[in-house]
Each structure stands twice: as C-alpha cells, then as structure tokens.
Amino acid sequence: MHFLSLFTFATLAFSAVSAAPVPTSDNGIVARDDVYAFAREIEVLETRGNDKQHKDSKKYVPPPPPKVTFDTSADNRHRPDKTLDKLNLYGDSRKKVEDYHRQVVENHMDTVPGAHSGVVKQLAHSKGSVDPNIHVSAGIHDHTGNVIPAPRRGNPAILDPTHHIYTNPADPSKGYHVLPKEYKKAVDNRNKIAGQPTGEGSPKRVECDEPRGLAETPDGAVPKR
C-alpha cells in the first residue's frame, strides 16, 4: 500500500508539471533562448533566400552574342553551314569543327587593333585561293560594325575586306595537321568522291566547299576534270 501511495503521488506530480503552461513568444515558438534564436535564424535565412531568388529573376540578363559567327549570306557560295552539310558533319562533330574555327578567328582578332567581332566566310581551305597555305577566310569588324581590312598577301599596299587566317600561324605551310580530325576525315571522304588526293601528303587539296565545277551540279555529282 505504501508503495502504491508513492507511485500515485509521483504520477500526480508529473502530470501537474506537464500541464503547467510553457512561456511562448508571440508567434508560438517556445521561448527558450536557444530554441527561439535558432528558429528565428532559420526564418531569416529562408526569407532572405526567397527575396534573393525573386530579385535575381527580375535582373536576368541574356547572354551576350557570340564573338564570332558564321556567314549565312545567300550570295556566298562558300557558306560554312552549307559546307558542313555537304561534308555530312552533324551533331558533336559539327560543333567541334565550328568551335575550332571560332577559336582560330578569335585568336587572330587578338592581333588586330580594334577588333570586336568576326564572321567566318569560308572554312579552312587552300584550293581555289591565291594563298596556297591552309587558312580560314573571315571578316573582322570594330565595335560599330565597320569592316577592318587586311593587307593583301603579296601586295600589302592593297587592303582587302577579308582576312586570310592561317590555321598554323607559326608555320603556315604546315596547317593541315592542326585541323580537327573530324574535319580532316570529312574533307578526305569528300575528296575521294571527287577523285581528288587526300591526306596530309596533299594539304593544298584541302577543300571547305565543293570543288570548282561542282557548284552548279546536284550534290554527289562528280565534277568535270
């Protein structure tokens, strides 16, 4: 009996303590200093995070236009996009070739005072040009869009609107091996169809467009020799 009385008393005492009101703050958070501070810290962090995200969404700025683009003029029979199509370059291989040409032009722009943007007019080539070394033909413009001319090869007194940019500036005569493997493979396949030499042994035959004499014929036709 004595044991039951003690147990009953302890139970009643515990119930009384549990039922006692716990001090709370105005927003219902238990008013213990450590718990309250922690809860307020979380609330502040969450509020700041939401506000920051909202402000950032209003300040969205679209990415700047690319520094180097590709010519899509209808009167350009060496249009890069058409050339890539004829070389059957698509997907990742196409992107690698495009990125390579962009980089070649960007590197050249670093050497041209006032250069602001560039336009690739013809992919890396040598045949069909007065310059026997493999180069990229591109237009270079200043920040207002005006063309920055380049001295003509062999006659620097004459300025041309198109820059001949060597794929290997250190040694222009060895511009073949630095070309992307995807581009070399596609060019070689195209030259095989046209019955022309391929490979590094004949870099002057590297084409970026249909061989001369094929421009007016259907795709896949063999040019007149």
How confident is the model at residue 214, as a pLDDT?
30
Domain count, the chain: 2
Residues written for the chain = 225
32/121 same-domain check? no
Q: In the chain, which residues have pLDDT < 70?
A: 1-57, 128, 200-225
- Looking at the chain, the whole-number percentage of residues with pLDDT higher than 90 is 44
pLDDT digits (tens, 9 = 90+) for 134-145: 999 999 999 999
Helix (H) or strand (E) holding 166: strand 162-166
Cα–Cα distance measured from residue 166 to residue 107, given in angstroms and rounded to the nearest whole number: 11
Task: Tell me if residue 17 falls in helix, strand or coil.
Answer: helix
Cα–Cα distance measured from residue 206 to residue 209, given in angstroms and rounded to the nearest whole number: 9
Does 136 map to a domain? yes
How confident is the model at residue 33, as a pLDDT?
53
28/99 same-domain check? no
DSSP annotation string for 37-70? HHHHHHHHHHHHHHHHHHHHHHT--PPPPPSEEE
48/74 same-domain check? no
54/102 same-domain check? no
85/192 same-domain check? yes
Contact present, 73 and 79 (Cβ < 8 Å) = yes
For the whole model, what pTM was predicted? Answer: 0.65
Residue 39 belongs to domain spanning? 19-61
How confident is the model at residue 191, as a pLDDT?
83
Cα–Cα distance measured from residue 140 to residue 148, given in angstroms and rounded to the nearest whole number: 5
Structure tokens belonging to residue 97:
């070739």
How confident is the model at residue 120, as a pLDDT?
97
Does 2 map to a domain? no
94/147 same-domain check? yes
95/144 same-domain check? yes
Contact present, 224 and 137 (Cβ < 8 Å) = no
30/82 same-domain check? no
91/200 same-domain check? yes
How confident is the model at residue 47, as a pLDDT?
46
85/122 same-domain check? yes
Does 162 map to a domain? yes
